[in-house]
A and B are shown apart, each in its own frame.
Chain A
């Protein structure tokens, strides 16, 4: 069964500093990979996704993620964090094919930004 691990429960960075959120997945093949962001009291917004091709994907709000097959990782990065980036970040995987098109989420990483 597929699984997603986000080893960092809580990360604090200073505004303007760089950010990397870790995500590792376990799956039989290369799945679809996603990062979602959830601001306090809000729903989930898709930041970026990887299906195939270029392993460095760009998303919204200045985020990017790099897929590394050898490490089964899909880490999220941002070169300069803004205070408004404080939120909960979820990594997720989805199957390549089949009708059971569900997403499996990691446990999330809470990002706190200090001024």
Chain B
């Protein structure tokens, strides 16, 4: 069973389009995250939701809008895509404090042309 799953795995789109990435975890965790990995492999947190409530928003453009319909899902919608949005986006989940058992999804490689 996949613990944290994301769809799609690859996403290629034109500048200006709107796209969504979906994430689901079956671990029963109460905290979910979106991380962005840029072309230099640097990983940085974007958002964190705890029990469907936004608790971390790390200076991300408001073109990015996370949505958590329930504790097991955290989707990422991106409006008006820009070239600089090209990256790998990782969903993750954890239970408890300190992110000590953070499980990552396989990533979604977004390419904006």
Contacts and interface: CB of A to CB of B under 8 A. Distances in A.
A90 B43 contact: yes
A32 B94 CA distance: 14
Contacts of B48: 100-102
A38 B41 CA distance: 10
Contacts of B111: none
A90 to B, nearest CB: 7
Contacts of B12: none
Looking at A46, A98, A100, A103, which has the most chain B CB atoms within 10 Å of its CB? A103
A108 B90 CA distance: 16
A54 to B, nearest CB: 16
B69 to A, nearest CB: 20
A101 B90 contact: no
A107 B90 contact: no
A41 to B, nearest CB: 8
Interface stretch (B14-22, B60-68, B79-87, B101-109): B101-109
A13 to B, nearest CB: 19
